[in-house]
Amino acid sequence: MEQNVFFLPHEGLKLAELAGFLGAELANSDHANVIVRSVAPISRARAGDVCYILSRRNREEFATCEASAVICDKALADLVPPHLPVILSSNPHAAFAMAGGLFYPAALRPVALSGESGIAPSAVIDPSAKLEKGVIVEPLAVIGAQAEIGEGTRIGANSVIGPNVKIGRDCSIAAGASILCALIGNGVIIHNGVRIGQDGFGYAPGPRGMIKIVQIGRVIIQDNVEIGANTTIDRGAMDDTVIGEGTKIDNQVQIGHNVQIGRHCAIVSQVGIAGSTKIGNGVQIGGQAGIKGHVTIGDGVQIAAKSGIMTDLAAGGQYGGIPARPLKDYLREAAQQVSKSKLRGRNPGGKQND
């Protein structure tokens, strides 16, 4: 890959320093002073790069690998060619993620567009808003009456923070986001174009058409949540919409009013969650899954991509399909359908071959 002008390499660390930061072990102390500056996949890693392996299936990729270090579990260390330094970790995936964040801290959050170190002259801030020290407000941002923003938080260009909204410390609000009727915790990352706190979709059929139901709840987002670009989170109707601590939400996700999502969940792009759904802790939801309103999903559930959730799901299960059922059942049914399709292709019309 060509030199990336958006994220420049780190000035360099010794492998001994990197291993210490990762809480890992350098397999050979003779490599302690080798310098590393970046991360890369095995297949194109060069001098100065760190890569990682999780499986013996990576063996062939070492043919083109010239990395300065490979992170792996002790059980896989025998796969690494002798000339490549090895960092031993019980969780190589997490260690590699930590290394990437160490080398490229600017890539962990939305980038600043203006270089402001304070409040831009073109920002519009109501006199009653309260900003702690170290808050950065980029050009053309608007902050409403009685809003409160904590120390170290950055408000991106053209973003809108509504009246009475409270945002904690060390948050990143990217350009073009809008936050209304919400309470935001500490360390929250909100990417470009996110919409939080608009009214939910609620109507009552009447003799002359649909009558709008007022949406007077809030959105509560707990600490260390990350919300991807163009995701929308509706405020509650009369209760609150809640996103639990540490949950990570991808781009273009729709979360309806009164939804309650637990701690440390992962929700992938284009998921739609209808109103008043309750989702437990540690739930993982694959892309484009759709979840019916007023259902309960237990702790630790895993939902396959493109699934349709119509009923409650018991804790700890894996589910897939439309409507969703236990994943093993869904995969078996899918395999049977594939087999039938192949048979029909070999024998058009379903006639017996002579």
**Topology, domain 13-107:** 3.40.1390
Query: What pLDDT score does 340 carry?
Result: 75
pLDDT at 350 over 60: no
pLDDT at 334 over 90: no
Domain ranges of the chain: 13-107, 180-319
pTM for the predicted model, two decimal places: 0.88
Segment 247-273, tens digit of pLDDT: 999 999 999 999 999 999 999 999 999
pLDDT at 237 over 70: yes
Query: What pLDDT score does 3 carry?
Result: 62
Q: From the candidates 10, 31, 191, 257, give the one annotated as an active-site residue.
A: 257
CA distance 312 to 291: 10
Whether 93 is a known active-site residue: answer: no
Segment 172-197, tens digit of pLDDT: 999 999 999 999 999 999 999 999 99
180-319 and 13-107 share a CATH fold: no
Segment 126-177, tens digit of pLDDT: 999 999 999 999 999 999 999 999 999 999 999 999 999 999 999 999 999 9
Query: What pLDDT score does 353 carry?
Result: 47
Half-sphere exposure of 210 (CA within 13 A, CB side): 6
* CB 220, CB 235: distance < 8 Å: no
Query: What pLDDT score does 354 carry?
Result: 43
Alpha-carbon distances, residue 127 vs 103, 142, 143, 146 (angstroms): 40, 12, 9, 8
Q: Which homologous superfamily does the CATH classification assign to the domain defined by 180-319?
A: Hexapeptide repeat proteins (2.160.10.10)
Segment 284-315, tens digit of pLDDT: 999 999 999 999 999 999 999 999 999 999 99
* CB 285, CB 271: distance < 8 Å: yes
Mean pLDDT, rounded, of the chain:
93
